[in-house]
Structure 1
Amino acid sequence: MYTITKEFHFSASHQLSHLPDGHQCARLHGHNYVVVVELRAKELNADGFVRDYGELKPLKTYIDETFDHRHLDDVLDFVSTGENMARHLYEWCAQHWPETTAVKVSETPKTWAEYRP
């Protein structure tokens, strides 16, 4: 099995207002997000790739136009946790590239959420 990953970055704010008073994430705050998409294939294509990295540019465009420098609670119809973001981005990627196997989202250098069906 061959695996490739590509990393994308964006900055955004959110607020998990459903959390109890005093919880740091209940306050309005922001993150410098890192998104990693993973694709796998049993065989390489004729060019020797799982998929050409350049073909993943639509994900960068989607992230930049939809999430970058925005308040996530204004653009999402779900609770803006890293876990939910990972699933949302996985579903978007899987519609474009069937080789998609996982998406990871980091809100801080020490935290990661991953969606892998």
Structure 2
Amino acid sequence: MYRISKEFHFSASHQLTHLPAGHQCARLHGHNYIVVVELAAADLNADGFVRDYHELAELKHYIDDRFDHRHLNEVLNVPSTAENMARHFFDWCRERWAEVTAVKVSETPKTWAEYRP
């Protein structure tokens, strides 16, 4: 199996209002997010790719237009956790590229959430 991945970055604020008032994530705060999309295929296409990285620019545009420098509570219909964001980006990507196998989201250099069906 061949696997490729591409990383995307954006900055945004959010607030997990369902948490207790004393929880640090219940306060308004922001992160410099990293999104990594992974694609896999048993065979390469005629160009020798799983998929041309250039085709993934559509995800960059989506992130820039809808997520970058936004308040995620106003963007997502679910709590703006990294786990929910990983699932959101996975579903969005999978609608476009059948080779998508996972999406990871990082809020900090030491934390990652991944959605992989």
> Shared fold (TM-score greater than 0.5)?
yes
- Aligned counterparts of 2:36 and 2:21: Cα–Cα separation in 1: 32
Say yes or no: does 1:6 pair with 2:6. Answer: yes
Q: Which residue of 1 aligns with 2:86?
A: 86
Percent sequence identity is 76
Q: Show the counterpart of 1:40.
A: 40
Deviation digits for residues 52-83 of structure 1, max 9, x if unmatched?
00000000000000000000001111110000
Q: Are 1:62 and 2:62 matched, yes or no?
A: yes
Structure 2 CA distance for aligned equivalents of residues 21 and 61 of structure 1: 35
What SS does the aligned partner of 1:70 have? Answer: coil
Q: Secondary structure at the match of 1:61?
A: helix
- Segments of 5+ residues of structure 1 without an aligned counterpart are none
Instruction: Give 3-state SS (helix, strand or coil) of 1:96's partner.
Output: coil
User: Which residue is 1:29 aligned to?
Assistant: 29
Partners of 1:81 and 1:63 lie apart in 2 by 16
Distance 2:89 2:19 in 1: 24
Could you tell me which runs of 5 or more consecutive residues in structure 2 were left unpaired when the two chains were aligned.
none
Aligned residues: 117
Output the TM-score relative to the length of structure 2.
Answer: 0.99
| DSSP 3-state at the match of 2:95 | helix
Question: What amino acid sits opposite 2:94 in the alignment?
Answer: A
Following superposition, the deviation at residue 103 of structure 1 comes to 0.1
CA–CA distance in structure 2, aligned partners of residues 66 and 85 of structure 1? 13
